[in-house]
A and B are shown apart, each in its own frame.
Chain A
């Protein structure tokens, strides 16, 4: 069994009118089966309202399934006694960096998680150091988080999760509010966690370019998994993605358009180098 597994997961929001009477139900997640192996890098795409954040919130028991089950590292998230273990195993990073940082100094913020777990002081410092080094923020350890850029704040948030020694980390649009440089920094840090530390990553994003290094990509629509595959398999289906209100990286789109015009190129080109080489090879 994988580190994150869901079976027939359904989540319904209750819609209420102004007086609080129940008007109906909205099914945000509809019979989702997911099986993520330890060490995998998973990306979840989907338009606004497709259910990806609702799904993510089940992974560390912020939400509990209406129907079906979710297991994290073998523990059922609906069982109250596991809740703290689950939140320690599966850390979560959200969209807005300003909502997640509480410390006055970077290292204090990162130490909050392990301190809360009752880790000894000596070990807290070790964990703070290694976590900040892993995201490339060690030299800022004495800084005030307020003075950092968005990308740096997000990396501090990630270090804060990392210091709890999670087995997996769920990032819900961590780059949505960042500029291109901040986005690059965060994605680089996330990839390093996955490749170097072997931490399982679930990345939710609207930026297609950020998913090209994932092991598997899931595309959600109306609460269901609409597509699943490697980045290359997914991005080969340009028209299908556009139907689902998504797009493909600009390089993939360019390759697709050239192919349609009769240039001999494979589908699912993901990087600038790949396209340049393929075109150079075709002459």
Chain B
């Protein structure tokens, strides 16, 4: 399912004296099955942007198309859009409420009007996809660890069988291992199901490691849009708008300044190891047996 945003504008309090332009002429084309990272500092418009994609906010100007259909068309089934685009909010575990994990995950599909059996099948499938251990299915969601709670909340959205999954800061407040586990699971989900995934994040290291494409938002506009390498090449400009490139970018630039022949475009630790070894390979005495 593809999304096209065509010159989308959004102004908070449009008619009031305190009107704020939160989205400014945003044009984006997201093809089927892509894993897109959306980064930007607080207040850059990234959350506003994703809330447009399932119709929670309505653009004050421009058009949004799902598979070629204009979602602002009077005949467009807006309610259906919400089940086709799953949105996982920040700190989604605050929205857990049922007596056990399984019932909580069943709530979404039941709410969409699925019968009990179908909802349970969907819930089971979703819990399996997020890697929730089976013995926790009938535990109270409030007794899970931080990472497990978040998995339960993501499963709740997945159970509605969305075609697009949007996650707003899914790793905020988790420990490093928890962050890695959640992101790896999301990546696996994308690879296995071919689902389109949008990941809103502050963490450049995380984004660089997993996504196909990065969209950088600044002051409501799309500042950069491209593969991680292309975007992080602008690391100085990113810093000026309150962001940063992954730490490896800085290391590689520092090495380049000291005369090493490294590829400064490497964005993950693995790639950096390769290029540094390669650069060192030309100076064999740097190696110890």
Contact = CB atoms under 8 A, between A and B. Distances in A.
A95 B173 contact: yes
B146 A258 contact: no
Interface residues of A, number: 43
Nearest to A47: B175
Nearest to A276: B254
A279 interface: yes
Interface size class of B (residues with CB under 8 A): 35 or more
Interface in B132-148: 145-147
Given A48-B146, A263-B288, A283-B283, A181 B242 contact: yes
Contact of B272 (A46, A246, A254): A254
B115 interface: no
Contact of B280 (A48, A254, A263, A272): A263
Contacts, number: 126
15 contacts: A47-B177, A47-B178, A180-B243, A181-B244, A245-B178, A247-B177, A250-B247, A254-B251, A254-B273, A257-B273, A258-B273, A261-B273, A275-B251, A279-B258, A283-B280
Interface string B78-118: 00000000000000000000000000000000000000000
Interface in B165-202: 172-178, 180, 202
Interface string A3-25: 00000000000000000000000
Interface in A251-274: 251, 253-254, 257-258, 261-264, 272-273
Contacts of B285: 283
A163 B201 CA distance: 34
A148 to B, nearest CB: 10
Interface of A: 46-49, 95, 149-151, 173, 176-182, 206, 208-209, 242, 245-247, 249-251, 253-254, 257-258, 261-264, 272-273, 275-277, 279-280, 282-283
A253 B177 CA distance: 14
B254 A245 contact: no
A178 B288 CA distance: 42
Interface of B: 40-43, 145-147, 172-178, 180, 202, 204-205, 242-244, 246-248, 250-251, 254-255, 257-260, 269, 272-273, 276-277, 280, 283, 285-289
A149 B42 contact: yes
A95 B43 CA distance: 18
Given A254-B269, A263-B288, A279-B260, A180 B177 contact: no
